[in-house]
Structure 1
Amino acid sequence: MTMAAAIDRRTADAPVRSQASRIASVEIITELDAAERVWRAFESRGPFATPYQRFDFLNPWQRHVGVSENAEALIVVACDGEHRPLVLLPLTLRRQFGLRIASFMGGKHSTFNMPLWDTDFARDATASDIDTLLARWRERGDADLLVLTQQPLRWRDQANPFALLPQQPSVNACPVLEMAPGAQLLSNSFRRRLRGKERKLQTLAGYRYFIASTDDEISRLLDWFFRIKPLRMAEQKLPNVFAEAGVEQFVRDACTTRFAGGNRVIDIHALAGDEEVIALFAGVADGDRFSMMFNTYTLSEQARYSPGLILMRNIIDHYVARGYRALDLGIGSDDYKRLFCKDDEAIFDSFVPLTARGAAASVAMSAVARAKHRVKQSRTLFRLAQRLRGALHHDGPKEEKAPKEEKEE
């Protein structure tokens, strides 16, 4: 019997774990197929985790993007004395600078990173538990350095146990909208302006807001997205991350994959008419929070009516009606995000050496990340960095600009 199957069987058959039990062993799984059963068994128990750690999200990412980046799967499973999983870390292992560096699976496509925690264990986890996890792992010698970025300090009003690790603010912030029941999330004047703009779009035949529900709808919307997004990014002088190896296939697979309950791994919200897609926002939802991953809007004259903002209003109303408590618009502080999200999610990075070789690298990488954070927090330094980047590329200064629809507001 494989280790993953053994964990799965014992998890299914075991009674509620003893509160006295703590981390007794750490196992490593290096193949996603071998990890699937224990991972899904963990998910079925309602773990403390973000939707970015679901197997059905990270499996296509690893198969298409991780493999193309020479990132090897490294699934770390910590168990109690009766071999019941308490923590599952979905990581990848890369060899860089002569080091073996472990980081969260999902790369730049995952807004939030966490292990999957047994909910009861996470609630009362201590620094001693985290030290034990690292000590057991160090004994195996699988990695030199842990680079754990974009971790939320809290999730669903519960502390993230990895916040007990040495930490520093992440390079970028993540704008978030807390959706308390009965709160006025958008001002009446803002809604009136959007209704005035939307009346122009409502003259289009078949104009509607919808969430893609069929494979044909998803395929049509993604075909449009992968045509338009590169043009929008070039317009803003930004690199097209969607052109990187494996990314398009990862997105297509995740958008068409269904959970057991029928919901898609990635939901696509859109405004469209019979003849034209006007705007698209896509993200992950978990019954409590919607987290946006990617978006774009039309290049046609309909862009003047702020379709992205209208779509965002529809998305907020959709999730408010379903009792969601939060919505975020992904990493970065673009102008349009501040129209909806006035607060930032507290997210942090940890650089944790596992060997003597990793210790020096952790200091250097931490210092670089701190410097980037300071630049991003200073408008003057940020603009200077953009000008330097433009000079290095010999095509003049480059500045991040909000799309036209975002400036109108």
Structure 2
Amino acid sequence: MSVLSRDSLSAYAELARRGVCAPPQSALWIEEWVATTGPDGFLAVLEAEGGPACALALEVIRSGPFRIARFMGGRHANGNFPLLVPDATASIEIEAMLPAIRAARPDIDALVLERLLPDLDGLPNPLLRFPHFPSPNLALAANLEGGFDALLSRVSGKRKRKKHRSQMRKFEAAGGFRLIEASTPEEVSRLLDAFFAMKEFRFRNMGIANVFGDVEVQNFFRSLFLDALRENPPPFVLHALEVGGTLRAVTGSARAGKRIVCEFGAIAKDELAHASPGDFLFFENIGKAGRQGFEIFDFSVGDEPYKRLWCEIETRHFDVAVPLTPKGRILAGALQMKAAAKSYVKNSPAMWRLAKMLRRSAAGNQTAQD
């Protein structure tokens, strides 16, 4: 284990150039999270056959009376997979991390690693050798093997093309439209400003805490997408649909090996919302991903109707909660029960409708008080 320092982060970045990982464990993500949030974090590195084979970048936070180690990025870290050197994966003994973490950080009650991919690019996730349980939410993805036209042939492509042409006509009548891939600092700033405003409006109306509302989180994403511009192609990229000079839909994505992952998206709730600008932008983004040779367009965590229109691949993520202290055993058990309860509600259409109705009602009451 090593504390976060310029040297340790440089060593992590060097390892990342030889390995594979999910975007939230990439060197750029970790560097930006450290720079913008200043976490109490550490790097855990396992060696095999004389060299580094697996690495985890973790932060320590307080959750009620507990202190836990988790992925950097919190709820923004989805589809998680550690940094692995493929040639050394067979000899990894992931369990060896636990005594090392206990010895270096006896204050940590539990290792809590959420939303784990079962595998990545054909490599099994070694973290699933720890006790684990299903995450409450599915992840959905579109299969682009064979290209965009092949995908359309399987997912009502004729109807989608017809709708896309109709949307074009509406957007042209509303002042013309433009598709943007942010390639300058000014475009990154403009697209993120619009996205944060869209999310604030949506979450407030849904009665959900705005996970993008914290200034540190916003600064993190600004730095992440700005500094990604230094690489070719950028590992993190923003796309947007502009109609009549106004941004109507924004997405933020990560390029990760054979897949492109949509990390977030939002639409403006204005006079053109009925024309489904988000659907239009996804049509364009997925088509572009197919032309660029990606095999998977990953919508990430969350089962939503607009994702189901494209997706043939369902992935069940997993959560790990390993107690490191007697107090941590209480937390690990509680997290497993909480995940099971959430899964029950979300897998019951009637219960899920009721939960969303209560949430909207609570949001309305709060707005009235404001």
TM above 0.5, yes or no, is: yes
Q: Which 4+ residue blocks in structure 1 deviate beyond 4 angstroms?
A: 387-394
Match of 2:97 in 1: 133
Does the 8 Å contact 2:254/2:263 carry over to 1? yes
1:5-404 matches, cutoff 5 A: 28-45=1-18, 47-65=19-37, 67=38, 71-80=39-48, 82=50, 84-122=51-89, 124-125=90-91, 129-142=93-106, 143-182=108-147, 183-185=150-152, 186=155, 187-205=157-175, 207-258=177-228, 261-273=231-243, 275-387=245-357, 389=359, 395=365
Does the 8 Å contact 2:43/2:55 carry over to 1? yes
Does the 8 Å contact 2:183/2:229 carry over to 1? no
The alpha carbon displacement at 1:394 in A equals 8.3
- Which stretch shifts more, 305-314 or 365-374? 365-374
Deviations 1:255-294 (A, max 9, x none): 1113663333421111114622222111111241111122
Does the 8 Å contact 1:57/1:265 carry over to 2? no
Does the 8 Å contact 1:111/1:330 carry over to 2? yes
Deviations 1:127-172 (A, max 9, x none): xx12233234334444331111000001112211122222111021
Distance 2:175 2:357 in 1: 44
**1:94 alignment partner AA:** I
Distance 1:300 1:392 in 2: 23
The alpha carbon displacement at 1:88 in A equals 1.0
Distance 1:275 1:260 in 2: 27
Does the 8 Å contact 1:270/1:280 carry over to 2? yes
- Which stretch shifts more, 179-188 or 275-284? 179-188
**2:36 alignment partner AA:** H
Does the 8 Å contact 1:233/1:239 carry over to 2? yes
Distance 1:238 1:349 in 2: 22
Match of 1:403 in 2: none
The alpha carbon displacement at 1:42 in A equals 0.4
- Which stretch shifts more, 377-386 or 112-121? 377-386
Secondary structure of 1:241's aligned partner:
coil
Does the 8 Å contact 2:117/2:318 carry over to 1? yes
**2:62 alignment partner AA:** R
Distance 2:34 2:340 in 1: 28
With normalisation by structure 2, the TM-score equals: 0.88
Does the 8 Å contact 2:206/2:360 carry over to 1? no
Secondary structure of 1:346's aligned partner:
strand
Secondary structure of 1:324's aligned partner:
coil
Secondary structure of 1:170's aligned partner:
strand
Distance 1:223 1:245 in 2: 12
Does the 8 Å contact 1:32/1:73 carry over to 2? no
**1:57 alignment partner AA:** W
Higher Rg of the two aligned structures: 1
Deviations 1:340-375 (A, max 9, x none): 224322210111122333223212222222222222
With normalisation by structure 1, the TM-score equals: 0.80
Gaps of 5+ in 2: none
Structure 1 residues 132 and 29: alpha-carbon distance in aligned structure 2, compared to 1, 3 A threshold: closer
More strand by share: 2
Distance 1:99 1:323 in 2: 45
Distance 2:230 2:33 in 1: 19
Give percent identity, aligned residues only. 29
Distance 1:361 1:219 in 2: 40
Does the 8 Å contact 1:175/1:345 carry over to 2? yes
Secondary structure of 1:232's aligned partner:
helix
**1:278 alignment partner AA:** R
Does the 8 Å contact 1:258/1:265 carry over to 2? yes
Deviations 1:160-214 (A, max 9, x none): 1122222111021111112221433342122212211222213455522231111
Structure 1 residues 302 and 97: alpha-carbon distance in aligned structure 2, compared to 1, 3 A threshold: closer
Higher relative contact order (CA closer than 8 Å, sequence separation 6+): 2
